[in-house]
Each structure stands twice: as C-alpha cells, then as structure tokens.
A = this chain, B = another copy of it.
Amino acid sequence: MVKSVELNPEKIRHKDIDDAKLQRLVEAALFIADKPLSVQLLKRDFLIEYRVSNLRIRDIINAIQADYKGRGVELNKVASGYRFQTPADLSEDLAHLYKEKAPKYSRAILETLALIAYKQPITRGEIEDIRGVAVSSQIIKTLTERNWIKTVGHKEVPGRPVLYASTQEFLDYFSLTSLDQLPALMPMEDFNH
C-alpha cells in the first residue's frame, strides 16, 4: 500500500540501515528515478528515514559501479548525478529497437539521382548545368550514404571534378539487373552537348 509519508520530524534520519540493504535501495532508486540522482537527492528522496553519511552513499555508489562493470548496463556519473545507461559498445545492436523514418526525398535529390543514373558518369557541374541550380553537398551525401551513387574517377577538365555513377545497390533496390532496364524516356535532350 502507498504510505502517505507526511514525514514528521521524528521520522527523519532515525533508522539504521545495513550496507546490503542500503546498496539495494540505492540501486533500486537509481533504476526507477526519471533523472540522474546526486548523493544529496538520494539522501533527500529515498533515504530520508535513514541515518547515512554522504561518504557512505558514495562508497555504495562505487560498489554498484564496480558490480555493473562489463554488463548490459553501467552506472555513469553525469553532470547532475548518477544514472544507469547502456554501454556505448551496445548502441549499434540496440539501434534496432528505435526506428526513425527518414524524411521523404526532395525533388532535388530525385532529379540528381535520375541524372546520375541516366547520364553516368557525370560531374556535379554537369548536373548543375542541366538542372539550372546548384547541387548541395547534402544531396550528394544523402545519395552516397544510401549507397546509391559512387565516385568512379575524375573528369580531365580544369579542376578535375569527380565523376559520379550509380551502384549495384541502386540497381538492386529498383530490382534492375542492368541500367538498360531503366525505363526509356521519350523525347530526351542529349545532355552531353
């Protein structure tokens, strides 16, 4: 039952607590708190009835930290106190739980991708010439991270711009076995010239 602990002054810091119980209580508090807990907060919110020194709480926290070394969670000190966190090396495996939808691709991205697919190998400058607007680095980055485009060399013109081409993943994604399976476009300017 929930005790409404309108703690009267006599009940504050009057009880003794052994190390084992103190460790369990601190561990539980750290796990159920929705924010990092400092020694002061632990003492005020979870241990108000007990006679414990800050030093003892700190020792207990050290003991818990040692206990959780190399496990699935670890006790870390952050600016406002201590909190349990997953270790950094598990992040990649845990990523599967939280899925975020990437934003829909803009027209600029789709046009760039289409030009690279149909006119490869092609430089950024050539894409910009055709589209009539600058191609942002973010677009190239997005398509590169998606593994849909890659660089295949440099064009031997002043500045030696990078040449882009589509990748095998690009073909796989669209279930194509080769580029000539891309839908033929009807009236089409020859962009090369």
A residues at B contact (CB < 8 Å): 2-5, 7, 23-33, 45-46, 48-49, 70-73, 84, 86-87, 90, 92-99, 102, 145-146
Contacts and interface: CB of A to CB of B under 8 A. Distances in A.
Contacts of A23: 72
A72 B26 contact: yes
B93 A27 contact: no
Contacts of A70: 24
A72 B2 contact: no
B4 A102 contact: yes
Which residue among A27, A46, A72 has the maximum number of chain B CB atoms within 10 Å of its CB? A72
A45 B97 contact: yes
